[in-house]
Amino acid sequence: MRARGLALGTLLLLLCPAQVSGCWRHGLAVGDMVGAEPGLAGRGRPDPVGSAIRGLGAKVARARPVFSQTCVWYGECGIASGDKRYNCKYSGPPKPLPKDGYDLVQELCPGFFYDNVSLCCDVQQLQTLKTNLQLPLQFLSRCPSCFYNLMNLFCELTCSPRQSQFLNVTATEDYVDPVTNQTKTNVEELQYYIGESFANAMYNACRDVEAPSSNDKALGLLCGKDAEACNATNWIEYMFNKDNGQAPFTILPIFSDLPLRGMEPMNNATKGCNEAVDEVTGPCSCQDCSAVCGPRPQPPPPPAPWILFGLDAMYVIMWITYMAFLLVFFGAFFAVWCYRKRYFVSEYTPIDSNIAYSVNASDKGEASCCDQLSAAFEGGLRRLFARWGAFCVRNPGCVIFFSLVFIGVCSLGLMFVQVTTNPIDLWSAPSSQARQEREYFDTHFGPFFRTEQLIIQAPRTKKHTYEPYPSGADVPFGPPLDKEILHQVLDLQTAIENITALYNNQTVTLQDLCLAPLSPYNSNCTIMSVLNYFQNSHSVLDHSVQDDFYVYADYHTHFLYCVRAPASLNDTSLLHDPCLGTFGGPVFPWLVLGGYDDQNYNNATALVITFPVNNYYNNTEMLQRAQAWEREFINFVKNYKNPNLTISFMAERSIEDELNRESHSDIFTIAISYSIMFVYISIALGHIKSCSRLLVDSKISLGIAGILIVLSSVACSLGIFSYIGLPLTLIVIEVIPFLVLAVGVDNIFILVQTYQRDERLHGETLDQQVGRVLGEVAPSMFLSSFSETVAFFLGALSVMPAVHTFSLFAGMAVFIDFLLQITCFVSLLGLDIKRQENNRLDVLCCVRGADDGSGVQATESCLFQFFKNSYSPLLLKDWMRPIVIALFVGILSFSIAVLDKVEIGLDQSLSMPSDSYVIDYFRSLSKYLHAGPPVYFVLEEGHNYTTLQGQNLVCGGMGCNNDSLVQQLFNAAQLDSYTRIGFAPSSWIDDYFDWVKPQSSCCRVFNTTEQFCNASVADPACVRCRPLTPEGRLRPQGEDFMKFLPMFLSDNPNPKCGKGGHAAYGSAVNLLDNNTSVGATYFMTYHTVLKTSADFIDAMKKAQLIARNITEMMGIEGNQYRVFPYSVFYVFYEQYLTIIDNTIFNLGVSLGAIFLVTLVLLGCDLWAAVIVCVTIAMILVNMFGVMWLWGISLNAVSLVNLVMSCGISVEFCSHITRAFTVSTKGNRVGRAEEALSHMGSSVFSGITLTKFGGIVVLAFAKSQIFQIFYFRMYLAMVLLGATHGLIFLPVLLSYIGPSINKAKISTTQEQYQGTERERLLNF
């Protein structure tokens, strides 16, 4: 499910706060600071500054020579560009600040608020500075000392009364004021002498500051390059560079700690990020200052592989164990052989019919109590089934009628059948932790979005190179970033937007369904596409600035800027086009581009377009509308033709659609498989003695009747559970007919072939003969069927829905199949025998055949004779048996060695048909993936956010606990290769604290109504929510916290305030009791790239571990709430956390049930029950060996097959073992040979050949699930079952089989006197 989770994850980025604008992504333009009005939108996550900049002036000129106070400018002059103005040149002394500017200077540069407040700036310059400080305030004030130093830099530049000491004007131009007609001078260029120590200290204080809403360092947004490449000098140089598109004039920073050219560099005192700025604010948080955190946490070392002698330890151990076994076994074998050869007749010499009880010393003497009890139980079962069989043959009409009534009543339940196709119901139990957490998330925050996604390549287009003008290195661009290709992709995207569907005679469009996070203010659909950098417009894509000779800026320029600043409203190039998506949110490059290296997005080889569609919780009508549109989307893309584009795609409904198509596409293959088995059964049951009796001796009609009984038992099982409302699953429909057919056919062959070999006694009627035959074989049938039934019903204790449902249906079907076989089939067998004795044709029973006088005689089939005369004697020869034991123990040793190497999980592509378009999408997703699925850390309802202690347990900014929720997630992101948490989390509470602080322009209310006033509203009646006092600068608590939180959650981001929480956190916070308390909330981050099932499983385990640690560190373990992680794939992958335990439990319970039933039904023969279970356990272990060799992973499907193989193995083992226990041959070898001859042929012709023919056909199925989990596993279970049951088990019994039951000897000889079995006793 990993693809679905990843595809849906792209949508969540919209909910992150809108990113920093171009100004702050690529540098804080000094022109904006000193006299420009920015038209930018930005987002960040700052912390309260408090009165961080208080006392600036007192520390401005420490230990510096005395200079006269002289300005270089004062006031604002002419327009530089747009709404940006130059400052006016002024070389006089500082001027007293008017009274109406006192509040501003106290707020911005309180260090200058002394004496008569004489400065080199007027009120307008201070107002411009305040306006333009809003965005850096939001980004950097989360670390007060960082913002303190930055404010120091710009306060000194803008207003310092000693400007002339470190500012040198180098270019001016005259300007005539249109109002006063006075001639003034614009400052067009100047030099700013900055102390190198100051610059480095400012950089060091800011370099760790996070911009968590953009998953980047703040300097990565301010430096014009990646944070890793940023340093003190290039950061300041970029901020002061006119070419960044924001500064109205150029400022040239000159770095020196020593006086230079008569200038004294500005080298004010700075604050380290681990220092408090004043008594109100503390040091920066651990997130924003590594010095506060201490050393970076290190992940635990990966577990060392278990190595012995340079090889895998399990291989070495099992090899040594196997060698030791061979040494002991063959040593003992030769020792015993020599001993017996010397002193008495060897048990291993050829068996002579005259040698009876020759070497079984333990067999001599009187029968024990256990022997007598076993014989009595065996005799009782035999007599019971004999009487029952005789009754069924005497009264076929009555038995068949009531059987049909029973079948009909049970099958009527199919009218109420429910089929579950929802993957969640198939793989996740309603009581499972992940299922409950998913329900909690959906209930409180709404279900995860539906996703329609395309991955587009341009295979016919070559790379091209962009040559920036006037300077710069050449930049390669990948094939899909060719402009013509982008135009074609935009046409495709627009066509998809215009798709319409019909649902209940109503038109459904994407606009009706799509996610619009800022609706109703902005109703544009969210489309995560690189074309949204160009506002989904052909004209913007074609926009360029050029002349006849050069192209100065075009779509290349804009693209390179937008991948750095996806939320910018101005790309700062000559184009000045916005990057922000038309839906009001950023488009992150790692979501819309694929196949690039590192962060070189221009090298992308694929484009990713995602259409998020609203999902609906318990709203079937809206859900079906969305599915109707998705159906049209799929049809459109399937039929879209463009030779220049290769498109891989998937819709939300694609997986379920393809699963349904897969089920239908393989119906023909499955039908052929079952047809082959049916035809074989119908033909193989008959024993043709001559051509003249071909149509008389054939048993096609009986075979068909047996098949119908098997199918009827399946229908009865489905019907019974449908009555009680238990839904079917695809696994039940696909697997149970195979299982019941295996069990049923085996019993049919044993019953029919035993009768065919039997000879009617003198004076014995047909019903007595059939009853006697049934009395002989029914206990064996009952043993196998009842063992499987009990094993399956106990397997239903599993918490895995697929295994639980399968076990219930399988147990019921096997039990009903046995009941119908000893009732209806016995009656039908009696009727068929009468037909044969009356010389009537098979199928056409009204027609008599030619009478050759031979009649019905007891006969031995060719297969029986082969087993009796060739195979059994060869297998049990003295030299063959040790080879068999050595070979099978070797295979077992190998299987044990690789047992822990079987992969866990299910590759999602395997669930798709081999010709599915979704497989191509999965391949592309794996190849071009650059982001993992989102993960939400949910803090359940019950936490108190209104207290300082409660806030500190959660938040991640200044003053928060170093082990808070957000801080621990941040720490986890630092260890992404271990924790698989890729990014620092978005934190609504930290953004809320930034939004509500009085220094910010975000939180304002109308002074008359106290209603919220958006920052974009220019109204004098709008005032700060909280006063600009020391108390007001503190975090809101109590009623204040709840008073402004609803405003934050309803505020849309805008150029004046990028911290509005509507788009980012509208669904992340539950407000309760009429907005008076906070309920459940979540904190979102992303997993790292996850490709394999092992990656997904490990990511879920690590997220759960992190959540448990957070719950423990917050000290809320004893409370009624906790922290838990949620991602869309958890509900599918949770099963793998316990799959090993579930496998051991289910197989252990099945083996235990088989042991108990075998023990009871074999007359308390403990050793025989142990041997049966040991052989079945070997088959199961060897199944794991085959799974490793054949690349079959352990999951719910393979676990169902393992449980089924446990049941089928009973068929291979129990009949042989029981035949061995009832044999009265004189030694173990003889008894093993008799059992193998008598039962082996029926087992081989019944279950082995029947299943083998049907299984081979499954290899041609289109479904990869069928090819891998059914063809491969079915073939393995049949071959392993047959080889263990027909090769290993007889040899094992010949060595260590249970001793003969002396109490059965006389009764057996009396029972079979004068019958075919009497000859078998001495063959």
Q: Is it the case that residue 96 has pLDDT exceeding 60? A: yes
Half-sphere exposure of 760 (CA within 13 A, CB side): 15
Q: Which of 93, 26, 84 is nearest to 235 (CA)?
A: 26
H-assigned helices in 536-666? 538-542, 555-562, 589-592, 620-639, 654-665
Banded pLDDT at 28 (limits 50, 70, 90): very low
Most distant CA pair in the chain, distance: 141
- CA dist 1157 → 903, 1172, 1209 (Å): 33, 11, 15
Q: Is it the case that residue 869 has pLDDT exceeding 70? A: yes
Q: Residue 1310 has what pLDDT? A: 60
**Which residues make Cβ contacts (< 8 Å) with residue 336, sequence separation at least 6?**
none
- CA dist 586 → 358, 529, 613, 934 (Å): 91, 10, 17, 17
Residue 722 tokens, joined: 């449908």
Judging by beta carbons within 10 Å of its beta carbon (0-12, 13-18, 19+), is residue 1187 exposed, middle or buried? buried
Q: Which residues of 380-398 are buried (b: 16+ CB within 10 A; e: fewer)?
A: ebbeebbebbbbbbbebee
Q: Is it the case that residue 994 has pLDDT exceeding 50? A: yes
C-alpha span between 1040 and 1005 (Å, rounded): 13
Q: What is the mean pLDDT of residues 303-314?
A: 85
- For the ranges 351-355, 515-519, 645-649, the maximum mean pLDDT occurs at 645-649
Are the C-beta atoms of residues 1124 and 940 closer than 8 Å to each other? yes
Are the C-beta atoms of residues 390 and 1322 closer than 8 Å to each other? no
In the chain, the percentage of residues whose pLDDT exceeds 90 is: 26
Residue written as token pair 């866990």: 904
Banded pLDDT at 167 (limits 50, 70, 90): very high
> Rg for the chain (alpha carbons), in Å?
42
Q: Residue 1307 has what pLDDT? A: 62
Half-sphere exposure of 1071 (CA within 13 A, CB side): 16
Q: Which residue has the higher pLDDT, 224 or 773?
A: 773
Q: What does 261-320 look like in DSSP terms, one character per residue?
A: TTB--B------TTS-SSSSS-PPPGGG-HHHH-SPP-PPPPPPP-EETTEEHHHHHHHH
- CA dist 895 → 385, 421, 478, 898, 1195 (Å): 41, 35, 49, 5, 18
Residue 846 tokens, joined: 């009204």
Banded pLDDT at 59 (limits 50, 70, 90): very low
DSSP E strands, 958-1076? 1004-1006, 1022-1024, 1069-1072
Q: Residue 53 has what pLDDT? A: 37
Is 803 strand, coil or helix?
A: helix
Residue 740 tokens, joined: 């019941």
- CA dist 1220 → 24, 351, 1308 (Å): 86, 16, 13
Are the C-beta atoms of residues 904 and 1191 closer than 8 Å to each other? no
φ/ψ (deg, to 5) at 1061: -95, 5
Q: Which of 425, 165, 74, 267 is nearest to 1132 (CA)?
A: 425
Q: Which residues of 269-298 are buried (b: 16+ CB within 10 A; e: fewer)?
A: bbbbbbbbbbebbbbbbbbbbbebbeeeee
Q: What is the mean pLDDT of residues 1303-1321?
A: 56
Roughly how many angstroms between the first and final C-alpha of the chain, as a whole number? 61
SS (H, E, C) 1178-1201: HHHHHHHHHHHHCCCCECHHHHHH
pLDDT digits (tens, 9 = 90+) for 1003-1012: 889 988 889 9
Q: Is it the case that residue 347 has pLDDT exceeding 70? A: no
Q: Is it the case that residue 608 has pLDDT exceeding 90? A: yes
pLDDT digits (tens, 9 = 90+) for 643-693: 999 999 999 888 888 877 776 666 677 777 777 777 777 777 766 565 555
Would you give the DSSP letter of residue 839?
Answer: T
Q: Is it the case that residue 1104 has pLDDT exceeding 90? A: yes
Banded pLDDT at 805 (limits 50, 70, 90): confident
C-alpha span between 466 and 854 (Å, rounded): 96
Residue written as token pair 């392993």: 1280
Q: Which residue has the higher pLDDT, 496 or 864?
A: 496
pLDDT digits (tens, 9 = 90+) for 1245-1264: 766 776 676 677 777 766 67
Q: Which residues of 971-1008 are buried (b: 16+ CB within 10 A; e: fewer)?
A: bbbbbbebbbbbbbbbbbbbbbbbbbbbbbbbbbbeee
Is 544 strand, coil or helix?
A: coil
Q: Residue 298 has what pLDDT? A: 80
DSSP bridge pairs for 612: 451
C-alpha span between 1127 and 1140 (Å, rounded): 23
C-alpha span between 530 and 609 (Å, rounded): 8
Mean pLDDT lowest among 1016-1020, 1034-1038, 1246-1250:
1246-1250
C-alpha span between 685 and 695 (Å, rounded): 13
Q: What is the mean pLDDT of residues 540-558?
A: 86
Banded pLDDT at 300 (limits 50, 70, 90): confident
C-alpha span between 1118 and 565 (Å, rounded): 45
Strand (E) or helix (H) holding 936: strand 934-939
Q: Which of 1157, 1190, 1193 is nearest to 1279 (CA)?
A: 1190
Banded pLDDT at 704 (limits 50, 70, 90): confident
Banded pLDDT at 477 (limits 50, 70, 90): very high
pLDDT digits (tens, 9 = 90+) for 143-152: 889 988 988 8
Q: What is the mean pLDDT of the chain?
A: 81
H-assigned helices in 975-1122? 976-979, 988-996, 1030-1033, 1038-1050, 1062-1065, 1093-1113
- For the ranges 544-548, 644-648, 954-958, 1297-1301, the maximum mean pLDDT occurs at 644-648
- For the ranges 793-797, 1127-1131, 1240-1244, the maximum mean pLDDT occurs at 1127-1131
Q: Is it the case that residue 579 has pLDDT exceeding 90? A: no
Are the C-beta atoms of residues 1075 and 1069 closer than 8 Å to each other? no
Q: What does 674-716 look like in DSSP terms, one character per residue?
A: HHHHHHHHHHHT-----GGGHHHH--HHHHHHHHHHHHHHHHH
Mean pLDDT lowest among 309-318, 388-397, 440-449, 730-739:
730-739
Q: What is the mean pLDDT of residues 581-593?
A: 84
Q: Residue 176 has what pLDDT? A: 87
In the chain, the percentage of residues whose pLDDT exceeds 70 is: 84
Q: Which of 541, 528, 531 is nearest to 588 (CA)?
A: 528
Q: Are strands 934-939 and 1123-1126 parallel, antiparallel or unpaired?
A: antiparallel
C-alpha span between 146 and 52 (Å, rounded): 10
Residue 1095 tokens, joined: 């990656």
pLDDT digits (tens, 9 = 90+) for 711-765: 899 899 999 999 988 888 777 777 778 778 777 777 788 888 888 777 777 777 8
Q: Is it the case that residue 20 has pLDDT exceeding 80? A: no
**Which residues make Cβ contacts (< 8 Å) with residue 1255, sequence separation at least 6?**
673, 1271, 1274, 1275, 1278
Length of the chain: 1323
Q: What is the mean pLDDT of residues 1283-1307?
A: 81
**Which residues make Cβ contacts (< 8 Å) with residue 54, sequence separation at least 6?**
110, 111, 277, 278
Q: Residue 344 has what pLDDT? A: 54
Q: What is the mean pLDDT of residues 400-423?
A: 88
C-alpha span between 874 and 880 (Å, rounded): 7
C-alpha span between 1272 and 1258 (Å, rounded): 9
Q: What does 328-357 look like in DSSP terms, one character per residue?
A: HHHHHHHHHHHHHHHHS--TTSPP-TT--S
Residue 158 tokens, joined: 């803008």
Banded pLDDT at 1102 (limits 50, 70, 90): very high
Would you give the DSSP letter of residue 26?
Answer: S
**Which residues make Cβ contacts (< 8 Å) with residue 181, sequence separation at least 6?**
none
Q: Residue 631 has what pLDDT? A: 93
